[in-house]
Amino acid sequence: MSALGAYLAARHAQQVRDFPDAADYMNQALARDPGNFDLLQRTFVLRVSEGRLTEAVPLAQRVVKVNQTDGLAQLVLLLEEVKTGDFKAAVDRARLLPNEGAQRLAGPLLLAWCEVGAQRPAPALQALDGLDTLRGVEMLKDLHAALIDDYADRINGAEAAYARAIGDQQHLTWRTAELAGNFYERHERSEQARRLYERLGGGELGAEITREALQRIAKGVVPPRVIANPRDGAAEALFDLASVLDQRETLDASLVYARLALDLRPSFPLAQMLIAEIDEDQQHTADALAQYRAIDPKSPLSWTARLRAALALDALGRTDEAADELKRMAAERPHDAEPLVELGDLLRGRSRFDDAVDAYDAAIAREQTPGPQDWRIYYSRGSALERSGKWARAEVDLKHALELQPDQPLVLNYLGYSWIDRGEHLTEGLQMVKRAVELRPDDGYIVDSLGWAYYRLGEFGNATRQLEKAIELLPEDPTVNDHLGDAYWQEGRVIEARYQWRRALQFKPEADQVKTIETKLDHGIAKLPAASATRGG
């Protein structure tokens, strides 16, 4: 392959976010045209994106010889100096980082930790003042000031900075709580730490941090420092930057900084989790699975990583392996319903409804006093029961889910539509589905349900109007296109109906749906009486 061919292949792979192939093709292009600076820069960035930092370093050295203002190349070389303990050189290089883009945040944080490495804590704290020109990063500045004072054993300064970083409940993050709680535990303030952890509330990661911390406090075990050295502090800074950039439009940059953090601190579960999440977002499920499995089993994030690994296995078509892992986790924690709920969801997604019901049964048996947050378990079991033809039990579960969480749109939609579909409680069912649409007017699936409910009731005009709205929200959904075709047919709009059915076939419907649609294209469908509750269609 020529240099141009390899370059074009790399660009295509990069556009579809296949970074491993993009990096390999760009390597080939650079090997064939080593003097091309544009190829050099692109190859360097791709190596960093793939976490191939050892290979990236010599390219970074070549890049800065040509362009000393290249922030990412300077950053990679700075981190090499941090890894070798040459903090004086790292300080000098940190001052060269451009004051633009993501480096506006990275520069002050990394300079601060390089100053710590050079055993200059006062200039380290002064370096953080470089963040003052940026809006919305006050908590981050306070947190790193606390970590620097904490590392330097300046207890009063650390305590004051942690207090500022913690702030009120609205701004408390579980990572801030973990770092501050670690400080309190190490300084014989376990009750203060306990209260802080208990403020975290829900969320899978926060819940695991809280569970482990409270067990540790109850046993009187004092944890080690989270930030054991300046290298850890620099890795924390890079991870914080990756977290700030973890948004749709800056996801590639987030991945780069997470990779840099992990290279600096190879055992860094937070960075591993973030990289895995980005891999999943980019449909690199096998890579995400590898990251989840690499997380230290002793980490409080290990449990969550195992749950996500099971979902990744299922996404890769390895459903039995995923189910076995969730069963093992359920056995490890006999009072925890979460692995069984995940198992039920997994099996329900694979249309193994009877098995899913068994998993939900076991999960509910572990719930001593169901609370409002448990509506989802009953909703999920109810939908699995309905799909397996056990309507009497399904109806009880769906009603109970609605008691736990009144006005929950998913439950309103499912129960209301099911009643209409069965010709029961028609008025109440229609009101439920209407209410679900009011609560989620931009949810195409719920809008489709309302349109199809009108269709079942023989109100074809209303059905068409709602299904046309659903098509705007979900233009490539085969079921919505199919439903709209049926509604058009009932209104005598035969050409439009056939057009929608053909569109439905373009969007890969299920095999049984394909056969039904093809039959409708050949023969049409039976005309239904208007304003009736028949179940044809």
**Does the pLDDT value for residue 532 go beyond 60?**
no
- Which of these, 332, 346, 117, lies nearest to 234 by C-alpha position? 117
Give the pLDDT band (50/70/90) at residue 101.
confident
- What is the domain range of residue 76? 3-184
Predicted local distance difference test score (pLDDT) of residue 536: 37
- 234 within some domain: no
Residue where a domain terminates, one of 151, 184, 217? 184
- What is the distance between the alpha carbons of residues 277 and 291, in angstroms, rounded to a whole number? 9
- What is the distance between the alpha carbons of residues 50 and 184, in angstroms, rounded to a whole number? 38
- 285 within some domain: no
Query: 27 CB contacts (<8 Å, ≥6 apart)?
Result: 43
What is the number of other CB atoms lying within 10 angstroms of the CB of residue 535?
11
Q: Which amino acid is at 236?
A: E
Q: How far is CA 495 from CA 198, 485, 491, 492, in A?
A: 62, 9, 11, 9
pLDDT digits (tens, 9 = 90+) for 3-13: 656 666 666 66
State the first-to-last Cα distance of the chain, in angstroms, to the nearest integer. Answer: 56
CA atoms within 13 A on the CB side of 405: 18
- 196 within some domain: no
Contact 392, 412 (CB under 8 A): no
Across the range 301-320, mean pLDDT stands at 96
- Which of these, 303, 259, 293, 265, lies nearest to 278 by C-alpha position? 259
- Annotate 38-52 with DSSP letters as a single string: HHHHHHHHHHHHTT-
Exposed/middle/buried for residue 495 (C-beta within 10 Å: 0-12, 13-18, 19+): exposed
- What is the distance between the alpha carbons of residues 326 and 343, in angstroms, rounded to a whole number? 6
- What is the distance between the alpha carbons of residues 254 and 231, in angstroms, rounded to a whole number? 20
Contact 350, 319 (CB under 8 A): yes
- 230 within some domain: no
**Total residues belonging to the chain:** 537
Q: Are residues 63 and 131 in the same domain?
A: yes
- 439 within some domain: yes
Predicted local distance difference test score (pLDDT) of residue 5: 66
Tokens in use for 535? 């179940």
pLDDT digits (tens, 9 = 90+) for 382-419: 999 999 999 999 999 999 999 999 999 999 999 999 99
- What is the distance between the alpha carbons of residues 488 and 461, in angstroms, rounded to a whole number? 9
- 110 within some domain: yes
- Which of these, 240, 106, 233, lies nearest to 173 by C-alpha position? 240
Q: Are residues 374 and 519 in the same domain?
A: no
The residue written with tokens 């003042």 in the block is 129
Residue where a domain terminates, one of 357, 383, 402? 402
- What is the distance between the alpha carbons of residues 533 and 517, in angstroms, rounded to a whole number? 22
- 510 within some domain: yes
Q: Could you tell me what percent of the chain has a pLDDT over 70?
A: 92
Find the CATH number of the domain harbouring 52. Answer: 1.25.40.10
pLDDT digits (tens, 9 = 90+) for 238-292: 999 999 998 888 888 999 999 999 999 999 999 999 999 999 998 899 999 999 9
Strands (E), 194-305: none
Residue where a domain terminates, one of 147, 162, 184? 184
What's the pTM value of the predicted model, to 2 decimals?
0.85
Q: Are residues 456 and 350 in the same domain?
A: no
- 356 within some domain: yes
Predicted local distance difference test score (pLDDT) of residue 537: 36
Q: Are residues 413 and 358 in the same domain?
A: no
Q: Are residues 166 and 33 in the same domain?
A: yes
Tokens in use for 456? 């079942």
- Annotate 391-454 with DSSP letters as a single string: HHHHHHHHHHHHHHSTT-HHHHHHHHHHHHHHT-SHHHHHHHHHHHHHH-TT-HHHHHHHHHHH
Cα four-point dihedral sign 176, 179, 182, 186: negative
Domain count, the chain: 3
Q: Are residues 36 and 163 in the same domain?
A: yes
Give the pLDDT band (50/70/90) at residue 471.
very high
Taking 3-state DSSP, the helix, strand and coil percentages for the chain, each rounded to the nearest 5, stand at: 75, 0, 25
Predicted local distance difference test score (pLDDT) of residue 521: 96
Q: Could you tell me what percent of the chain has a pLDDT over 90?
A: 75
Q: Are residues 24 and 150 in the same domain?
A: yes
**Does the pLDDT value for residue 51 go beyond 50?**
yes
What is the number of other CB atoms lying within 10 angstroms of the CB of residue 5?
13
Give the pLDDT band (50/70/90) at residue 533.
very low
Tokens in use for 305? 């990583």
Q: Which amino acid is at 166?
A: I
CA atoms within 13 A on the CB side of 170: 0
Q: Are residues 77 and 154 in the same domain?
A: yes
Q: Are residues 75 and 10 in the same domain?
A: yes
Q: Are residues 333 and 418 in the same domain?
A: no
| Phi, psi torsion values for 485, nearest 5 degrees | -60, -45
CA atoms within 13 A on the CB side of 184: 24
Tokens in use for 433? 């589905």
Q: Are residues 390 and 416 in the same domain?
A: no
Q: Are residues 47 and 165 in the same domain?
A: yes
- What is the distance between the alpha carbons of residues 6 and 322, in angstroms, rounded to a whole number? 38
